[in-house]
């Protein structure tokens, strides 16, 4: 949805939270919508906070029947291209002794107390791994570094929404 749609809906009935994709490789929400949500006191529930798995650094190829084949960021040569481009991010996670998934979630949690990432997994141990992201403290210098290296526009492939 757009900022304008949220404004219109909020006038009809107060909105508490809006769900929109938000992650280090999908930062479109920062351009306009997030500003409006903050102005109106509405929380942001960030879906696919791990880039549907990409930001965990564990996706090297996709099976033919994997639904992510439909995502331009995974399609064709883009997956390999994006893996190269996000190498510095993976390197920071290694440097900090955390997993890329944890760093991706920690970065989101540092964007404000009004941001609620909802990572998905089918594995209990990953729920535990991901939950530990709440213990990670990122310094302003580190946040700046991550923001610069994973700037909006870095990922190859059009947005789905």
Ligand X SMILES: NC(=O)c1ccc[n+]([C@@H]2O[C@H](COP(=O)([O-])OP(=O)(O)OC[C@H]3O[C@@H](n4cnc5c(N)ncnc54)[C@H](OP(=O)(O)O)[C@@H]3O)[C@@H](O)[C@H]2O)c1
What residues line the site for ligand X (CB under 6 A)?
19, 47-53, 56, 58, 99, 101, 118-123, 126, 129-130
Nearer Cβ to ligand X, position 134 or 144? 134
CA dihedral of 143, 33, 78, 63, whole degrees rounded to 10: 100
CB of 47 to ligand X, least distance (A): 3
The residue of the chain with the least Cβ separation from ligand X equals 120
CA dihedral of 40, 5, 13, 46, whole degrees rounded to 10: -60
Nearer Cβ to ligand X, position 3 or 119? 119
Nearer Cβ to ligand X, position 64 or 122? 122
User: Within 13 Å, how many C-alpha atoms sit on residue 1's CB side?
Assistant: 16
Nearer Cβ to ligand X, position 62 or 141? 62
CB of 140 to ligand X, least distance (A): 25
158 CB contacts (<8 Å, ≥6 apart)?
Answer: 72
Q: How many CB atoms lie within 10 A of CB 146?
A: 21
CB of 6 to ligand X, least distance (A): 14
């Amino acid at each position: 949805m757009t900022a304008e749609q949220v404004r219109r809906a909020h006038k009809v009935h107060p909105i508490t939270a809006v769900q929109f994709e938000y992650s280090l490789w999908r930062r479109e929400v920062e351009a306009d919508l997030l500003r409006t949500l903050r102005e109106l006191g509405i929380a942001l529930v960030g879906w696919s906070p791990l880039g549907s798995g990409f930001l965990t650094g564990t996706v090297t190829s996709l099976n033919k029947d994997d639904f992510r084949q439909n995502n331009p960021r995974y399609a064709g040569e883009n997956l390999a291209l994006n893996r190269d481009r996000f190498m510095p991010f993976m390197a920071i996670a290694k440097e900090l002794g955390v997993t890329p998934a944890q760093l991706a979630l920690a970065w989101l949690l540092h964007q404000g107390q009004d941001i609620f990432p909802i990572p998905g997994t089918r594995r209990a141990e990953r729920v535990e791994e991901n939950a530990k992201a709440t213990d990670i403290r990122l310094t302003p210098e580190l946040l700046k570094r991550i923001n610069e290296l994973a700037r909006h526009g870095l990922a190859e492939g059009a947005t789905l929404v």
